[in-house]
Structure 1
């Protein structure tokens, strides 16, 4: 092959490569996975309208954390009143929280009831596949009385279209695929973490999960506000963004005994 032909061949190859790169959507990657955590997109899209004026009676304080916070001082968190926490384990089928071990096991060692959550990516793979990935990377459950069932964090897409390019029927089917697989594999129903506004916009406000999957609601305001269709109450309310001890702030809707009951199954 002479230099001219080789040059043309090389140019053609580069052009094809460039076309593939341009055609491949950025959403297929995990560039933001280190900084995606429960509520990042909800706060960005819905804002913050305040916090509860005082601790609501009969509620139990807890937190949620992810890898961006680094190692957590769980002894300090327990000393400040934390009774439970959720830790980000995975995102899609291509990211595992590098701090998961310290955060998840550290909470347990400090006497805090803990569970894991999965940041949903309906744009990269199916619900069943992501449920299996989550379970394989820390999202399972065991009947030790200190482990909460896993949670599905489904919120505004940080990589593009807020509903992941899916219509309400398809996105509802994706969520059902995840929760059905989780239940079959773990024998517990997963919690669903979301906001009412996102749920209305992206699932058409389906009531399909209200009788099967406990609700973990995100709303940064003085009260819980309207719930998504199908749920008569929330199990957990994420009421504030990151605080000092540690991560985001949550109330379990009931006394500590109810948190313990959820852990025991």
Structure 2
């Protein structure tokens, strides 16, 4: 199958960094760490895994940063991931193949991916965090039946949605209602990030909430605040004109132009 494969090659990293001084095309050129390649169809790491045929894959900010090498080679997070990688953890797919241990799912079923490679996908008993549903805090991202990786796309055994097919543990597959389109469902991951933040840290009643940044997460946060806390005044900081227009459409009472964060915080205060 075709896939965008990211290899950890110091020679490619160095060459791309140097060539990018002349042209941004270097990041997707023949010397780049990420290349379009033919790779084998996904294997099932265990009997309770499935293979999804990719329908949609979202582009996360982390995918963008990795593609354009906006990070440090010695980042301590590299201890929790493995290479080579196929990025893309915001995935909508159709179940195409199932292991014999899969229950309550069906071939042809449309699902959205919960990308965390926590205890259950690794074939391990649930740690205290996973037992509480806090999968992002799992203690076992480097253990179990698959190679290290925090979520789909940064483990060599759990390749992501920038490919024609994606392996997934049955617990990662969330059925999509028929009245929800692929284009809507693929926003589940970024929407849930904003939703989680607001539910766990709600604004004070009749207070003011400042959303700093109006990309996908910020716009989702504005919409969620308006739906869950209609009495709260929502302010937004947007870098681009189209973001300002969308922020107002989603319910922001006022927009601030992007500038030094401390200055904005002081102004709102």
The TM-score range, normalised by the shorter chain, is under 0.3
Which one has the bigger strand percentage?
2
Q: What TM-score do the two structures reach when normalised by structure 1? A: 0.26
Which one has the bigger helix percentage?
1
Q: What TM-score do the two structures reach when normalised by structure 2? A: 0.26
